[in-house]
Amino acid sequence: MQAHEILHDLEATGALLNGHFELRSKLHSNRFFQCALLQRHPRVFARLCTALAAKVEAANPGPLDCVIAPALGGIVAGHELARCLDLRSVFAEKQDGVLAMRRFAIEPGARYLVAEDVVTRGGRVDETIALVRQGGGTVVAVAVLIDRSAGQAAFGVPLFSLLEMAPEVWQPGHCPLCRAGAPLVHPGS
């Protein structure tokens, strides 16, 4: 898929928002990708995940056993990527404020693809990678629908994304939208 096709799908589904947003990283931005709004359109979401899975397969990062995703946003992306790649799918979720393996266990020696809907700094992906390694698994690669870091996020393994974006982000004290009095939205993640 071409970038303009992906952007069209994101805008048509209402998943790419413009405004004044506080990201999970506490940075402020003028654009926000809300994957939940994209997921309301299962065929579009599936088409995008299929294109991302094809990128992973074409690069052949090595054998994979399972896809793991952090809750909440990554669960559907992880499941859809696992379906496309004919792999098992598991997810990590918060327990006492920390990402943990509550319903599943990491299989020692298994090779994982970490899936996420969007990364800016990649904190949730880093937490997921740490869980896999703590459990004795190996992270082979990371796959995300939207890389908001524009290729700057680094995880020590190949990163595959369907679209790289570089929306403007600011520290709260330096945000021109705050200075202009624009209402701040906490859209969730």
Structure tokens at 133: 């390694």
Q: How far is CA 171 from CA 25, 81, 131, in A?
A: 10, 33, 29
Mean of pLDDT values over 58-66: 95
Q: pLDDT tens digit string along 11-30?
A: 999 999 889 999 877 889 99
Answer CATH for 3-171 from 3.40.50.2020, 3.40.50.620, 1.10.3720.10, 3.40.50.300: 3.40.50.2020
Is 165's pLDDT higher than 90? no
Mean of pLDDT values over 158-165: 93
Task: Work out the pLDDT band at 47, boundaries 50, 70, 90.
Answer: very high
- Amino acid 50: pLDDT: 97
- Amino acid 150: pLDDT: 80
SS3 (DSSP) at 85: helix
Is 42's pLDDT higher than 90? yes
Better-scored residue on pLDDT, 73 or 119: 119
Domain definitions of the chain by residue range = 3-171
Dist. CA 159–CA 173, nearest whole Å: 31
Mean of pLDDT values over 131-160: 94
Is 187's pLDDT higher than 90? no
Of 69-73, 83-87, 105-109, give the lowest mean pLDDT range: 69-73
Could you tell me which of 95, 94, 128 has the C-alpha nearest to residue 112?
128
Mean of pLDDT values over 181-186: 92
